[in-house]
Amino acid sequence: MSDLSTFLEEWTTAEQDGDAKALDELLTDDFRAIGPYGFILPKPAWLARFGPDGLHYDAFSLDEVDVRTYDGAAVVTARQNTAGTHQGNPIPEATRVTLTTVERDGGWRLAGAHMSFIAGTAGAPPLPQRPG
């Protein structure tokens, strides 16, 4: 896990596979995710998303990746492309994601993720109507 692009590949593979054990190693202990509806998931809840009645990905990838690096940290913005279900319901096909990564113990770890719906993509809520 020496460079950030390798780390991102490992993270997307672990997400797609629902590999909670691998994700446990890739996330910081104080990891927090903010979902597209504003809910917050600490690391234990993030790892518990998978299972027979939970989240299942058929596909998971990052596109339009932009990386900004700082001393010991990097902020990654991307389009997250997914196919799958959560509790039997289809999940949105795309979200914008901001990933906060930090260097720890000789490698990169994910400290935070923030997701937003992309208007007009399948599964995103409709845009609100403007008054008037």
For 17-29, what is each residue's pLDDT tens digit?
Answer: 999 999 999 999 9
For 50-63, what is each residue's pLDDT tens digit?
Answer: 988 899 999 999 99
Report whether pLDDT(129) > 80. Answer: no
- Residues 6 or more apart whose CB falls under 8 angstroms from that of 28 comprise 43, 102, 104, 109, 110, 111
For 85-127, what is each residue's pLDDT tens digit?
Answer: 999 889 899 999 999 999 998 899 999 999 999 888 887 788 7
Report whether pLDDT(2) > 70. Answer: no
Report whether pLDDT(131) > 60. Answer: yes
Considering only CA atoms, which of 99, 105, 32 is closest in space to residue 67?
99
19-46: average pLDDT: 96
Query: What pTM was computed for the model?
Result: 0.90
Question: DSSP secondary-structure letter at 50?
Answer: B
Least confident of 12-16, 50-54, 65-69, 126-130: 126-130
Q: In the prediction, which pLDDT does 127 show?
A: 75
Domains of the chain, with CATH numbers? 4-117 (3.10.450.50)
Cα maximum dimension of the chain: 56
Q: In the prediction, which pLDDT does 1 show?
A: 38
